[in-house]
Amino acid sequence: MKPLFIVLEGLDGSGKSTQISLLSERMVSLGWPHTVTREPSDGVIGSLVRMSLTDNSLTNEARALLFAADRYQHVHDVITPALEMGKHVLCDRYYYSSMAYQADGVGALSRLVDYNQVVMTNHKPDMIFFLDVSPEKCMSRIGARNQETAIYENLARLQEDRERFFCAFDRVEEDVTVIDCENSKEAQVLEILWQHIYAGATTSTKFVPSLRSCTTANRCKK
């Protein structure tokens, strides 16, 4: 069985962490060796990034560079070793999140691609899923957590970030599966994800269900 590097992307409150937990439970039940990880990572650089997400103490450019550095170290310390050991990797966020959350201003997306070029070239995920939930529903879920909010967790910003995700998908032109989760139950989303993953891990044929297109032509400032 080929070990897969699987990334889940989405807005805060889209259900990524929940789905990764459910996928992990499914893999455990089947005896599939795997690693669950996230970005920002739990490493030294990732901890600095997390600290900056609540107090807005860094410029956006500095934060983007920190994210890129954390990602490079994360690949070196966690992702690559796991794959070399034959483990699947379930990752909560990867370079598309940087392109969404740090791409402020004309030309920012191109700079972010440059910052992340090494991992984008040498450490591409086997599968990338975007869990598409409206910013309004995401904000409702975030509010229900009753926790301190990050600097990106407000409605206007989430609306902008959703657009930037799709601009990034268009700019990079990778195979991203967009799943409309607005009115789907957790179990339904899990089964869509699992059908993709199971097919990718056990056969040479890619499973392609009928999903919403992520075409974003002419929406982006490159």
- Banded pLDDT at 206 (limits 50, 70, 90): low
Mean pLDDT of 148-160: 82
Can you give the pTM of this predicted structure? Answer: 0.89
Average pLDDT over residues 195-222: 60
Residue 214: the pLDDT is 40
Of 56-60, 68-72, 158-162, 214-218, the range with the lowest mean pLDDT is 214-218
- Order of strands across the sheet that contains 5-10: 34-38, 88-92, 5-10, 127-132, 176-180
pLDDT at 220: 52
Pairing outcome for strands 176-180 and 5-10: unpaired
Phi, psi of 90 (to 5 degrees): -105, 115
Q: How far separated are the first and last CA of the chain, in Å rounded?
A: 39
* pLDDT tier, 134 (very low <50, low <70, confident <90, very high otherwise): very high
Q: What is the pLDDT averaged over residues 146-150?
A: 67
CA triple 51-52-57, angle to 5 deg = 130
Kindly tell me if the per-residue pLDDT of 177 is higher than 70. Answer: yes
Of the listed ranges 18-32, 43-57, 126-140, the least confidently predicted one is: 43-57
**How many residues comprise the chain?**
222
Q: Which has the minimum average pLDDT: 79-93, 170-184, 199-213?
A: 199-213
Q: What are phi and psi of 14, to 5 degrees?
A: -85, -15
Residue ranges of domains in the chain, CATH in brackets: 5-202 (3.40.50.300)
Would the pLDDT of 216 be above 60? Answer: no
